Structure 1
Amino acid sequence: MLTELQKKKLTYYFHTFDADKNGTLEKSDFDKIVSGFAEAYNIAQDSETYQYISSTYGKRWEALAKEADTNADNKVSLDEWLSYQDKLLTDPKSDFLWLKVASMFIDVQDVDKDGTLSLNEYKVMYKIHGVGDESLAAEIFAKLDFDGDGKISKNDAMNLVADFYLSDNPQAPGNLFFGAYE
């Protein structure tokens, strides 16, 4: 069962995918996020990069709709989302699917494919997902860039995501990975 802190973080995270802010997740939200990447990085729709990003978000929507949309209305409500997240975190058969999904999203955000997230890539993630402005992204990035090299390695990012999902410690650094949830 999700703790109150996990519910708070996962509710916040839900809203980062609700691109049109209508209170439900739909395929169009994921399409808007893909368009945001294309616009932010000037990626042509016929490029391999665009196809990768579109395919990644498309597959994520399809899996989410299949597993979380319990009333089959082609929308995922917050309650459905939280129930699905609870299942992922407590069902040993989920095989840490949430980490696999996070890995895919980090790969998408690592546009220059150097195996890290730069401050610029992190800022773009914030902008696309409506998390906050560039100054908030820079402030949080500085807290998560543990060695101060201007990058967050994929391994560090995965550990931060694990903190986000699993930690019930309000001070855990990973709680901030997707923005200030409070």
Structure 2
Amino acid sequence: MSQLLDRKLKHFFTLMDRDQSGTLELNDYLTTADNVRSAFGIAEGSAEHHELRQAFTRFWEDVIKPMDTNGNGHVNFDEYLTAYNAGVRDDPQGYQRMKPISDAILTIADTGSTGKVTADDFARALSGYGVPEPECRVAFTALDKDGSGFLTPDELQTAIEEYFLGTDPELPGNALFGRF
């Protein structure tokens, strides 16, 4: 695995560790879902809120929880990195398990129902992960490859793949979750 990818994964792990315990647990994922909900003014308990929490819960159950090799209910970074290498990076289908979260966020972030995400909505979505707004703006500019002022589902999917799988330091997707 490349040092670049290790650094990106450590950064994402740190963002997702919402309570800063040094481990990931389901509550970290639900907190992120709730933060994204709040950023978009979605009513607590609404169908959209439920769908978002379900996507994060499924991701926890299907991808993160199985990384807990010692069965303590928490995933530390070593467990995360080891399992990531075996289950996501090296398994072409492993990455697809991340798609429900990106789909749910894309649906919410597409506030104009245009199939595209604006810079403001992109920043709101990433603020739910704890990415500072100035870094969201830098990321948006890097990811908006055609300069349209919008991110399409394909541009977002490419960015996610580049962030979680890419080892080339020049990939625009490296900026997805801010500086690392």
Deviation at 1:71, TM superposition (A): 0.6
Sequence identity (%): 25
Q: Which residue does 2:159 correspond to in 1?
A: 160
Q: Which amino acid in structure 2 is aligned with residue 45 of structure 1?
A: E
CA gap 1:114/1:76 in 2 versus in 1, 3 angstroms: farther
Q: Which residue does 2:122 correspond to in 1?
A: 122
> Which range moved further: 59-68 or 7-16?
59-68
Equivalent of 2:104 in 104, 108, 133: 108
Structure 1 residue 49 corresponds to structure 2 residue 20: no
Distance 1:12 1:43 in 2: 27
Instruction: Provide the secondary structure at the position in 1 that maps to 2:131.
Output: coil
Q: Can you list the C-alpha shifts for 1:68-97, whole angstroms capped at 9, x where unaligned?
A: 011111111000110111012454xx3332
Question: How many matched pairs?
Answer: 176
- State the TM-score, normalized to the length of structure 2: 0.88
Q: Which residue does 2:30 correspond to in 1?
A: 31
Deviation at 1:24, TM superposition (A): 0.7
Q: Which runs of 4+ in 1 moved over 3 A?
A: none
- State the TM-score, normalized to the length of structure 1: 0.87
Deviation at 1:12, TM superposition (A): 0.8
Q: Which amino acid in structure 1 is aligned with residue 71 of structure 2?
A: A
Distance 1:99 1:179 in 2: 22
Distance 1:34 1:168 in 2: 28
Contact 2:32-2:128 at 8 Å conserved across structures? yes
Contact 2:117-2:152 at 8 Å conserved across structures? yes
CA RMSD in angstroms comes to 1.8
Equivalent of 2:92 in 78, 91, 95: 95
Contact 1:18-1:25 at 8 Å conserved across structures? yes
Deviation at 1:55, TM superposition (A): 0.4
Q: Which amino acid in structure 2 is aligned with residue 68 of structure 1?
A: M
